Amino acid sequence: MKDDRILLGHGSGGSLSHRLIREIFYPFFQNPILQKQDDSAVLGRLEGEVVFTTDSYVVEPIFFPGGDIGKLAVCGTVNDLAMLGARARFLSAGFILEEGLPVGHLKMILESMRQAAAEAQVLIVTGDTKVVPHGAADKIFINTAGIGVRRPGLALDGANARSGDAIIINGNIAEHGIAVMASREGLELNVSLCSDVAPLNMLVAELLDRIPDIHVMRDPTRGGLATTLNEIADQSQVGIRIYEKDLPLVAEVRGVCEILGLDPLYVANEGKFLIFCRQQQVEDILVVMHNHIYGKDARVIGRVTDQPRGKVVMETILGGQRMIDMLTGEQLPRIC
Amino acid sequence: MKDDRILLGHGSGGSLSHRLIREIFYPFFQNPILQKQDDSAVLGRLEGEVVFTTDSYVVEPIFFPGGDIGKLAVCGTVNDLAMLGARARFLSAGFILEEGLPVGHLKMILESMRQAAAEAQVLIVTGDTKVVPHGAADKIFINTAGIGVRRPGLALDGANARSGDAIIINGNIAEHGIAVMASREGLELNVSLCSDVAPLNMLVAELLDRIPDIHVMRDPTRGGLATTLNEIADQSQVGIRIYEKDLPLVAEVRGVCEILGLDPLYVANEGKFLIFCRQQQVEDILVVMHNHIYGKDARVIGRVTDQPRGKVVMETILGGQRMIDMLTGEQLPRIC
């Protein structure tokens, strides 16, 4: 490709579009299904229950410590499938590019997608690219949809939390949102503060092989831990109690939250998930978690109660109780 | 919803997002799968071969004669599945909204999506909404991904055109692109010139029930008829010959093309498709076509030849021959 920037013609559907696909996209996403070049990807028969999800990604900046919009677009969708116990098999990728985007940036993003898809063992089988004039979008937006399969009979469901359940998280909270915000604000950090963005499906598969009757799994992304806990309290009509002293939060993240005036409970994660399970399953789950790179800091952070239904309460370090509401308003725009 | 415009907070993942989903989206897309409110949609087991596709829609203006971005987003993806013989079953919908978008406009778009999905008998089962600050996107972009199923053993494939095949189109060309462009340019038209945007899956299903061994189907969207014919000539390594006198093109569209300096062969369609089939199947296909609202103007427009491989030639009305290349550059930005 002679030009080093994306042109409107790259979205025309004509010869420039074909060159973009052949010369830029295909080298990163080689697989026989994609390379058929038909309007749709023929996947053949799928065994098991099929699970389907989608997310659009508009994060700003598009490159941030620990990842970029491409890694996010693969991991986010893989994780949404994993939360319902499905192994991600196939992804679609829809790109909206702003005229003038450097092709070198696009290639870096595609390489991140390639790496994340390889780690998650998922194939990108169909795609689409649109180009809009300069100023009609901000650099690049990516949509991924994902198809996964799972074994029938799993109990996993946001409405399936039960009084007495333990609540486990696989590691430190608020790292993605803080890495993105610090990067956006140009904060000079003394420490290497990185997004936690990661594909969780392999860890989830190991967990479900060992403990297939987990009640709920969900990843606290936009809106953070507080919002996700509220969703589950509402769907399951239970109370949720968490312990501030047990919340895993590194000092640097806490410090940046204070500088930016953010509550880490509402800051997005992209490599974390919550498990609701029976108390007697906790030990088994933590053993699997602690042996996995994405679960090594896993711990119990709370439990499910009968009352107050639909509410989340935090026991504070000072011994008080604080009602934790769902995020209201927009704390962090374009965080994912 | 008190506010009549989309706010950044509607994309936060928090309580405003939940209200947007519950109060604006759900009333249009009611089905038990979507309403589970989990991260992903559980579709259960799917019988037959699974087909998967995606497209993002960035059309400008978002409302145009004959449709809007919502109708386009459903029909385009349904049609991409239909072109490989698959009946669309499930759609995802990912929305990127610009802060300040009137909620009334969003509702009109959702109503169009609801109607198109009902006509195509497809369920919207999972979705996502992001909001970006004013100026970071232009009003609304929609991505849809679609899952369809088809019976095993279909021959349909862009690489399956054979020398001697007839080429059929289901009606008049260039109407979508011209309707959008005329609307964008504020052209006052004496006639009601409308986009042809329509879901083709029911017509395709009827055709495949009757003639299951059609060689190729493809919808000439971005890049128009010329680009699609070139794609198939290339994929199948055959020559393609079309007859100018047989191209269905209404006088008004031809007139607007002349005003705008556009070649109708390169103008997008959103309710047209090409069929490549054996000559002896033409009559059966036209019978089915002519009995269907979206096929009533169907006719043969050309045939497949041995040579020149990978090339498209048009026999002109004046008796000459013109090489028809793939679209180069950007004729019509943001046409879909």
Nearest one of B41, B46, B156 to A44, comparing CA atoms: B46
The pairing of strands A216-218 and A123-132 is unpaired
What does the alpha-carbon distance between residue A172 and residue A302 come to, in Å, rounded to a whole number?
Answer: 15
Average pLDDT over residues B13-29: 92
Q: B111: which 2 tokens?
A: 């109503």
Q: For position A3, what pLDDT does the model report? A: 57
Segment 79-138 of chain B within 8 Å of chain A by CB: 79-81, 83-84, 86, 90, 92-96, 125-128, 130-133, 135-138
- Residue of chain B whose Cα is closest to the Cα of A37: B158
- Chain B positions touching A157 (Cβ under 8 A) are 36, 38
Q: For position A78, what pLDDT does the model report? A: 98
d(CA A334, nearest CA chain B) in Å: 6
What does the alpha-carbon distance between residue B31 and residue B43 come to, in Å, rounded to a whole number?
Answer: 12
Question: With an 8 Å Cβ cutoff, is B31 touching chain A?
Answer: no
Which of A15, A231, A336 lies closest to B326 in CB terms?
A15
Per-chain mean pLDDT for chain B = 94
Counting residues of chain B whose pLDDT is more than 90, the rounded percentage is 87
Q: A159: which 2 tokens?
A: 């409405």
Q: For position B108, what pLDDT does the model report? A: 98
Q: For position A38, what pLDDT does the model report? A: 79
For residue B238, name the pLDDT band (cuts at 50, 70, 90): very high
Residues (pLDDT < 70) of chain A are 1-3, 189-191, 330-331
Q: A123: which 2 tokens?
A: 């194939």
Phi then psi for residue B322, to 5 deg, are -130, 130
End-to-end CA distance of chain A: 30
**pLDDT tens digits, B99-119:** 999 999 999 999 999 999 999
DSSP code, position B23: I
- Chain B positions touching A132 (Cβ under 8 A) are 58, 138, 333-334
Q: What's the length of chain A?
A: 336
Q: For position B3, what pLDDT does the model report? A: 57
Chain pair A-B, CB pairs under 8 angstroms: 294
Segment 257-276 of chain B within 8 Å of chain A by CB: 266, 268
Distance of CA A5 to the CA centre of its chain: 29
Q: For position A323, what pLDDT does the model report? A: 97
Average pLDDT over residues B304-315: 97
- Cβ within 8 Å of residue B245, ≥6 positions away: B315, B317
Return the domain boundaries, chain A: 8-150, 166-323
Per-chain mean pLDDT for chain A = 94
How far from B28 is each of B21, B63, B224, CA to CA, in Å?
A: 10, 18, 32
Average pLDDT over residues B303-313: 97
Phi then psi for residue A145, to 5 deg, are -115, 150
Task: Name the CATH superfamily housing domain B166-323.
Answer: PurM-like C-terminal domain (3.90.650.10)
Say if the Cβ atoms of A222 and B13 lie within 8 Å.
yes
Say if the Cβ atoms of A7 and B330 lie within 8 Å.
yes
Phi then psi for residue B209, to 5 deg, are -65, -40
Phi-psi region of A121 (alpha: psi -120 to 50; beta: other; left: phi over 0): left
What CATH class does B8-150 carry? alpha beta
What does the alpha-carbon distance between residue A140 and residue B123 come to, in Å, rounded to a whole number?
Answer: 28
Other CB atoms within a 10 A radius of the CB of residue B209 amount to 10
Q: For position A190, what pLDDT does the model report? A: 62
